[in-house]
């Protein structure tokens, strides 16, 4: 029965049922650290992974296990691992395939936290990386070295919203026996399923659209049973990056509205992108739902929706860009995304500030680029906010082209 459910139904009901003792529909929160066993043999079989169960809080708990099963089902994976943040998920996924002396290829316009890990911490473990243009599969393959052990991509990328052909990349990498890790945070399982397109592992910052309320730090890794079991024991558990019961409960609660939220985010973002593209004071808009986006056709084929993130460059570069976000009254300046509120940020000085300017320019992250996480407010209010901010910077510039 559950295998026949549509996505919106699975999001609510998958891996959850009323409590057998109380009949409670809402998920129970079980914050226990230690668990008792009827005998030594049972304890040993659970620890060995031969029997289902939990044995110590650092390796999981019943509440987070319910959530992990739901996430795995939504992404189409054999198993999932819930961890303490999106960066915990990213680092665990990479360390699950890499060791001292190994090399990884990474899409060039990548999240700043991922860049930091790969350029600052990973080298201390003897791990090398190269950032490549993964829109060019041939160039990506040419960058493979004898010690390359994995390929890591984001699609859509953060913050340029570059769309990568997951199926083409994974097919090419399989010829070289290279696992492909895909950061699916910007899409959520509602809009894109990388595993179905050939990816080996999917990572999420559940802080964003999966939870969707700006009150939880969490991440997920989804993949095969063997890969997730290794990551659970040797990485999450041994390094203490587990997801606790309370935050698991909050995510389970937040997910019940995920399909509705994501649909609204997409609809609002499309309208905001179209407004910005029509405004004469905007240099360029990056949104896969626009026909002007270089991978628009690929996005339509690969994704079920275009997402809630819009990036754009305002005329005047850094100075005018900062003035613009400072002039917004409804939208808030914040590092995060995927919240009900519309959030804006300046990547060059915020999320991607750790990347040297020369490299940022190579990645296409200009000083005038602004990223918008379009919220769930009435879209007319969101557009009106950007309209008044642009009017304050460029008086009369947009009056003839913008419908109120």
Q: Which residues contact 167 (CB under 8 A, 6 or more apart)?
A: 197, 198, 302
Q: Is 238 a catalytic residue?
A: no
Q: Which is catalytic among the residues 183, 200, 339, 385?
A: 183
CA 115 to centroid of chain Cα atoms: 15
180 Rama sector, left if φ>0, alpha if ψ -120 to 50, beta otherwise: beta
Q: Which is catalytic among the residues 111, 152, 209, 287?
A: 111
Helices (H), 76-144: 86-95, 112-116, 137-142
Whole-angstrom distance, CA of residue 253 vs CA of residue 370: 31
Answer for the pair 134, 169: CB distance below 8 angstroms, yes or no: yes
Q: Which residues contact 82 (CB under 8 A, 6 or more apart)?
A: 60, 64, 67, 68, 71, 206, 218, 219, 220, 242, 243, 248
Q: Which is catalytic among the residues 58, 69, 267, 304?
A: 58
Answer for the pair 338, 208: CB distance below 8 angstroms, yes or no: yes
Q: Is 329 a catalytic residue?
A: no
Q: Is 111 a catalytic residue?
A: yes
Question: Distance of CA 138 to CAs 132, 164, 294, Å?
Answer: 11, 13, 18
Whole-angstrom distance, CA of residue 5 vs CA of residue 12: 11
Q: Which is catalytic among the residues 193, 208, 232, 264?
A: 208
Q: Is 208 a catalytic residue?
A: yes
- Strands (E) located in 167-308: 180-183, 201-205, 219-223, 282-286
Answer for the pair 210, 258: CB distance below 8 angstroms, yes or no: yes
Give the catalytic positions in this structure. Answer: 58, 111, 183, 208
């Amino acid at each position: 029965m559950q295998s026949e459910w549509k996505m919106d139904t699975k999001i609510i009901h998958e891996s959850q049922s009323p409590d057998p003792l109380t009949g409670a529909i809402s998920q129970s929160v079980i914050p226990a650290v230690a668990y008792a066993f009827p005998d030594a043999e049972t304890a040993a079989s659970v620890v060995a992974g031969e029997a289902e169960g939990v044995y110590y809080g650092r390796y999981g708990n019943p509440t987070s296990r319910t959530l992990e099963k739901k996430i795995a089902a939504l992404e189409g994976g054999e198993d999932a691992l819930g961890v303490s943040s999106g960066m915990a998920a990213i680092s665990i996924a990479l360390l699950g395939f890499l060791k001292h002396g190994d090399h990884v290829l990474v899409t060039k316009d990548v999240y700043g936290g991922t860049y930091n890990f790969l350029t600052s911490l990973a080298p201390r473990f003897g791990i090398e990386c190269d950032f490549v243009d993964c829109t060019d599969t041939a160039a990506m393959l040419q960058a493979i070295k004898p010690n390359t052990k994995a390929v890591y991509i984001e699609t859509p990328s953060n913050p340029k919203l570059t769309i990568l052909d997951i199926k083409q990349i994974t097919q090419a990498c399989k010829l070289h026996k290279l696992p492909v890790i895909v950061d699916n945070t910007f899409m959520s399982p509602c809009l894109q399923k990388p595993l179905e397109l050939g990816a080996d592992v999917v990572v999420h910052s559940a802080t964003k659209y999966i939870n969707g309320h700006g009150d939880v730090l969490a991440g997920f890794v989804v993949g095969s049973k063997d890969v997730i079991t290794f990551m659970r024991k040797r990485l999450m558990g041994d390094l203490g990056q587990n997801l606790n019961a309370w935050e698991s409960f909050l995510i389970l609660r937040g997910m019940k509205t995920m399909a509705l939220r994501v649909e609204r985010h997409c609809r609002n973002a499309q309208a905001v992108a179209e407004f910005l593209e029509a405004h004469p004071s905007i240099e360029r808009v990056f949104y896969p739902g626009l026909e002007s986006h270089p991978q628009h056709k690929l996005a339509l084929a690969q994704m079920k929706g275009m997402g809630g993130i819009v990036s754009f460059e305002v005329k005047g570069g850094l100075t005018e860009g900062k003035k613009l976000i400072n002039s917004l009254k409804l939208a808030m300046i914040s590092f995060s995304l995927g919240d009900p509120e519309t959030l804006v940020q300046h990547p060059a000085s915020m999320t991607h500030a750790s990347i040297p300017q020369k490299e940022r320019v190579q990645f296409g992250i200009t000083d005038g680029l602004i990223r918008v996480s379009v919220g769930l407010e009435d879209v007319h209010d969101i557009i009106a906010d950007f309209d008044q901010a642009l009017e304050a910077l460029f008086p009369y510039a947009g009056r003839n082209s913008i419908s109120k």
